[in-house]
Amino acid sequence: MFGRGFSFGPYSGTLRHLVRELKFRNRRRVAERFAEMIERDPQAVELLASGGVLVPVPLHPRRRRERGFNQSELLASALARRSRLPLAARALVRRRDTPTQTGLSAAQRRDNVRGAFAIRERSKVAGRIVVLVDDVLTTGATVRECAAALLEAGALSVRVLTVARVV
């Protein structure tokens, strides 16, 4: 469903620790550091050079209220400021409050997020290259569902950029 992708590194060691600091300990400045690190990587620069629009993977409103922020949106916002690409933070929404993916198999993850995403602002993505931004890529179930919704809304292509990937 998505074309190219980039992950800064494996979800282990210091990178795992920093992702968890951002996500679970409200260390929002970590998103700026991630954007700075990503911006220095030639592969990420090439991916962002598409001139596309940045779209963060959304949280369900309940989870966003609980956490107080969306870590993917913080990262996408920091990348937008640095790259000067437009940010469409509300173009994609999570319409279903899915349970956490932690501990689920690949098949369970696919079932968990099936149909969970919808487009709210079609005009922000139609006819554009979309760079979907998330913190961690595990099985790809979430980004595939997001990409399907974005492509159905008329996105020319979807690229994926994450801080880390589970290997």
Question: Count of domains in the chain?
Answer: 1
Closest CA to 137 of 80, 72, 88: 72
What digits encode the pLDDT tens for the residues 97-145? 776 767 767 777 777 678 889 999 999 999 999 999 999 998 898 999 9
Whole-model pTM over 0.75: yes
pLDDT of residue 41: 94
- With residues binned 3-state (H G I as helix, E B as strand, rest as coil), the percentages for the chain, rounded to 5, are 45, 20, 35
What digits encode the pLDDT tens for the residues 40-80? 999 999 889 877 899 999 989 888 999 899 999 999 999 99
Closest CA to 55 of 115, 114, 130: 130
- Cα gap 140→61, rounded to integer Å: 22
* Residue 72, both tokens: 């993917």
DSSP for residue 50: T
Closest CA to 90 of 126, 121, 60: 121
Domain that holds residue 77: 5-165
- Cα gap 114→119, rounded to integer Å: 14
pLDDT of residue 1: 63
The CATH number covering residue 124 comes to 3.40.50.2020
pLDDT of residue 99: 64
